[in-house]
Homo-oligomer: A and B are copies of this chain.
Amino acid sequence: MLRQMAQADPRSGKRGRQAEARRNDRAVLDAAREVFTAHGPGASVAQVAALAGVGMGSLYRRYPTKEALLQHLCRASMDQQVSAAQEALARRGDPWEALAGFVRACVAFRAGVLSAVAGTIPVTDDMRATAGHAHDLVERLVRRAKRAGAFRRDAGSVDVHHLIELFSRRPSGDAIAYERLLTVALDGLRTPGPDPLPGPVPDWHTEVRRWSAL
């Protein structure tokens, strides 16, 4: 196969093998996100490698096993989610816009992976902790929006979490259609509906137990 070698990595500016390695790092993780969120954790590693444009060897040099890849993916996504939440909290201006932007960002990088693979990999304490941290930040975003009257009273931060999970699962095609639906859902989350939402406001504790149940 023809390989594209001596091209500079636009990010680091480096060239050569090290640059290729760095690019592959990202490509593998991005591909894994794409494949596992769309097809579930049962998707094959070969599929990930193919989408990343990388050989099996290159993938397995980075992650000793499929499980390790999934765990790393979860960690990375949750870290991204934390960053996005912090950024949203730091934003001045309309609290609703900050929250909505956060949700869109999370959906864009498929922050809801964890729900897709929950039950197939052991959830480490580390993951639990990071998820908890992320949740705290989302809770603050929601509270702030509620104070500004820009979030329906009968919904809570866990509903936001579920929304992100739901839309993270979107298959790769048809991106516009899903963006429309997400916009619809966000509009519905902002203003109260004619009828209250069914059931009690879900709480984080039971949510955690759902994917902690080995």
Contact = CB atoms under 8 A, between A and B. Distances in A.
B169 A197 contact: no
Contact of A155 (B184, B190, B193, B202): B184
Interface stretch (A64-72, A74-82, A127-135, A174-182): A174-182
A185 B183 contact: no
How many copies the complex holds: the figure is 2
Contact of A162 (B177, B194, B199, B202): B177
User: How many residues of A sit at the interface, in one of the four size bands?
Assistant: 35 or more
Contacts of A122: none
Contacts of A174: 210
A123 interface: no
A186 interface: yes
19 contacts: A155-B180, A158-B177, A159-B184, A162-B177, A162-B178, A166-B178, A169-B169, A174-B210, A177-B199, A179-B199, A180-B202, A184-B185, A184-B188, A184-B193, A186-B188, A186-B193, A188-B188, A190-B193, A191-B191
